[in-house]
Structure 1
């Protein structure tokens, strides 16, 4: 399972970087919701990593300077790989959501959620590209593996 998660998060890192470059290039032509949604992808990944690693959390809808996004993505990637190397996938993480509700989940479930959540929102941004008449990047996992 560890190797599969490594491959999945390598894919997410690569496609977040590609998407960031496209957003940066096309920012003036995209709906104003596209960049905040990309920030949300980065924030959610950071928040889940921080819950596992007991770190400080970003705000779920925090907007970053566009110049910071590549570094945040890299930090998320590196922290996730630290989790993959050092944290038991069966470990239960106790946390509160953004509304203060308490939950418990296994690390493996959280990692799967991070990947699924990122894919979902990148798909929304790709839809924004299409609606704006911009050819989006091809982000299918299978294309990445070819």
Structure 2
């Protein structure tokens, strides 16, 4: 299970990077263009994904709710007005921190306790939180693909199997 969890997080990093690289082929207008969609722009999708990656990394580390509230506030300010390249760099930092954390864990199936003000208490293995982060990213990479198509551009394939092909 350890290898699978680490591979899934590596896939998440690869897939997001694949989207960043794809978006660099377009003008910055595409990244910021406001459209009628799930999010008003691709920039907003990445800002949301970055916030959520940080939130769940904080939960995985066992940060308190007070620390989590501070991380949310700080991260929301950090992402404001960031360029594609700046967001890419910010994602790289959180990936490295999270990967280092995950690799340092003896047991990726240890129980993590989450306290959510709306949903209550959840006790779940760390590996399932990683699965959630990856799944959340996959969902929003799909949003980005739909938004690109809505603007008349091709998306980029980020299915897990394409990641596996890069490993062979």
TM-score (norm 2): 0.72
Could you tell me which residue of structure 2 aligns to residue 27 of structure 1?
31
Match of 2:72, SS? coil
Pick the aligned partner of 1:122 from 135, 141, 144.
141
Q: Report deviation, 1:49.
A: 1.0
The answer to which of 120-129 and 60-69 deviates more is 60-69
Quote the Cα distance in structure 1 between the aligned partners of 2:48 and 2:111. 24
Cα separation, partners in 2 of 1:36 and 1:121, compared to 1, 3 Å: same
Instruction: Give matches, 1:71-90, under 5 Å.
Output: 71-87=89-105, 88-90=107-109
In structure 2, the residue corresponding to 1:104 is in which secondary structure?
Answer: strand
Aligned-residue Cα RMSD (Å) equals 2.6
Alpha-carbon distance between aligned partners in 1 of 2:121 and 2:23, rounded to the nearest angstrom: 35
Gaps of 5+ in 2: none
Cα distance, 1:115 vs structure 2? 0.8
Aligned partner (choices 62, 81, 91) of residue 76 of structure 2: 62
Matched residue, 2:47: 39
Q: Secondary structure at the match of 1:62?
A: helix
Q: Which has the larger radius of gyration?
A: 2
TM-aligned CA deviation for residue 100 of structure 1:
7.7
Aligned pairs, how many? 146
Q: Is the deviation greater in 85-94 or in 125-134?
A: 85-94
Aligned residue in 2 for 1:11: 11
CA displacement, residues 19-72 of structure 1 (integer Å, 9 cap, x when unaligned)? 234446322446333221221112111111111113544439936122431222
- Rounded to whole Å, the distance in 2 between the matches of 1:98 and 1:27 is 33
- SS of match in other structure, 2:156: coil
Counting only pairs closer than 5 Å after superposition, residues 134-145 of structure 1 correspond to structure 2 as: 134-145=153-164
CA distance in 2, matches of 1:83, 1:6: 11
Contact kept, 8 Å, 1:30 with 1:128, in 2: the verdict is: no
Q: TM-score, normalised by structure 1?
A: 0.81
